[in-house]
Amino acid sequence: MKKFKFQLEALLKVTRRKKDDAERQFAEVSRRLEQHRARLQDLLRELQEGQAEYSERTSAGKTINVDVIVTYNNFFNWKREQIEQQQQLILRTMQERQQKLKILTDLMTYLKSIEQLKEKRLREYNEAALAEEQKFLDELGLQLSMRK
């Protein structure tokens, strides 16, 4: 009997490569998302530190001139703008991550169905090979018993 050959082996290999690429892309987007979240935490910390510094300066009973107030106000506005931009970036990255996850899960499902088909065909091949071997042994046994 011929050796087992799965006719969709090329499709299986291509699908595995696509799944590997999708996994790599998902991991990359996940890494970027974590970087964006870390950057947001840094920005929030910087804003909080600036607010604490401003509160310390104003509550110490020191006189503050208008330039200092304007400088702090500009700083706070700038930090809030950076925080808002970072939050938007995080949202876009989360959406991209969801898309990559959907692509990955679809490919994994498709790959699993092809692998199950391959397993089914291999079982059928093995059953046919076993039946052929059994038939050969039966014929051999019959020939041996007829010679006696």
Specify the pLDDT at position 14.
97
Query: Which band of pLDDT confidence, cut at 50, 70 and 90, is reported for residue 64?
Result: confident
Rounded mean pLDDT, 73-101: 98
Give backbone dihedrals phi and psi of 63, rounded to 5 degrees, phi first. -80, 140
Question: Per-residue pLDDT averaged across 76-98, rounded?
Answer: 98
Rounded CA separation 113/118 (Å): 9
Give the distance, in angstroms, between the CA of residue 12 and the centroid of all CA atoms in the same chain. Answer: 20
Q: How far apart are CA 66 and CA 72, in angstroms?
A: 10
In eight-state DSSP terms, residue 61 is T
Using 50, 70 and 90 to split pLDDT, how confident is the model at 60? low
Q: What is the CATH number of domain 9-119?
A: 1.10.287
Q: Of 2, 29, 5, 28, which is closest to residue 98 (Cα–Cα)?
A: 29
88-123 pLDDT per residue, tens: 999 999 999 999 999 999 999 999 999 999 999 999
23-45 pLDDT tens trace: 999 999 999 999 999 999 999 99
What residues have CB less than 8 Å from 41, skipping those under 6 apart? none
